[in-house]
Homo-oligomer: A and B are copies of this chain.
């Protein structure tokens, strides 16, 4: 991508950011309709990707790659959900009178141009574009290469719909090559944010090769701590769901810490439930002395398995569990199972993670489940957005100041003074 193309996208975004909610919602409705009209074309292009992928990539990746009636319905339902969300643009976030009739307003505005790099999931393309339209952001899309034909079909369908709208389609672009990715990483003058979804190494590569702010997460090394006051049946149920409901997800549990006082009762219960679901326990020496399992290696407590494996260890207290989590976790999602209000409060206060839960599955860490409408990703950074990132994570703001000829010299000399009266 060259400088001329990116300037066109940036100009289109500026016009988009000044559009009204009706225009943006109308464009979303046009996309909703066009996807239905073009479905045979999209399905047939998707078949090409599936044929090429067969035998080369795993069944779980093929499942994500597939774009059928069910996926179409799901993304179209998602568009309707996004249409129903309130307008995120132009919201007054602060309003303050600095002096008589001298009004400062902080208003939400779109971030601008976002580079979005995502996995081989064609439905993600539709979701991301829909969120971009609603939030007034331009988006440069780079999808997984296995979904090349599907992405092209979906992109051209969406572009066709947007060209029928008042907004036009200049604010979206699809790129495919590694060279294009490398070129956008250098465009810190024109691109405001990069959201890389994908492997840890890929996120690091992006961070090392750009001055553009990056919103992403590294690992998802999530922990469940079972406190001495825990309801043990509840703890087993939550542990099983956190591990097996979708083991390859970043919010799946990878480590279970058990308070030593209840280990003798809890570990056999956990083992029996994990055995039923085919989960391999990697236990510390103490765990091995209570239940039969695989001995944990030295790296198991720093590993994101993403499989039916789970490291298990004993600790003496909630404090020790917190220390372990802060040292070995990835600041993503961690849960305590407890009946003690004091232990819950301590855990909430001191676990340094985006999502800190009590008595429920780590798998709830998700934009849809949190009620954010949809998510563009999960952030383990503490800057800008933390945890599941929904529409609000795609917004920035401007400070607007309206005066009547005020000058700083008058305030510096004391002729006038600020009164800083909050109006909102």
Residues on A lying within 8 angstroms of B by beta carbon are 14, 17-18, 96, 98, 102, 104, 111-112, 192-193, 204, 207-208, 211, 213, 215, 231, 234, 237-238, 240-241, 245-246, 326, 344, 348-350, 352-361, 363-365, 369-371, 381-384, 386-388, 396-409, 411-412, 418, 420, 422
Contacts and interface: CB of A to CB of B under 8 A. Distances in A.
B238 A399 contact: no
B383 A396 contact: yes
Contact of A360 (B14, B352, B359, B405): B405
Contact of A111 (B207, B213, B355, B382): B382
A284 B20 CA distance: 37
Copies of this polypeptide in the complex: 2
A23 to B, nearest CB: 14
A364 B399 CA distance: 11
Contacts of A400: 348, 356-358
A370 B399 contact: yes
A245 B18 contact: no
Contact of A371 (B234, B356, B369, B418): B418
B352 A401 contact: no
14 contacts: A14-B350, A98-B369, A98-B370, A204-B211, A213-B384, A238-B405, A238-B407, A241-B407, A344-B402, A354-B399, A357-B402, A360-B404, A361-B406, A365-B399
Given A382-B192, A402-B359, A349 B241 contact: no
A234 B406 CA distance: 9
A241 B408 contact: yes
A237 B320 CA distance: 63
Contacts of A104: 370-371
B112 A352 contact: yes
A383 B418 contact: no
B398 A355 contact: yes
Contacts of A241: 407-409
A240 B409 CA distance: 10
Contacts of A358: 400-403
B386 A397 contact: yes
Nearest to A110: B382
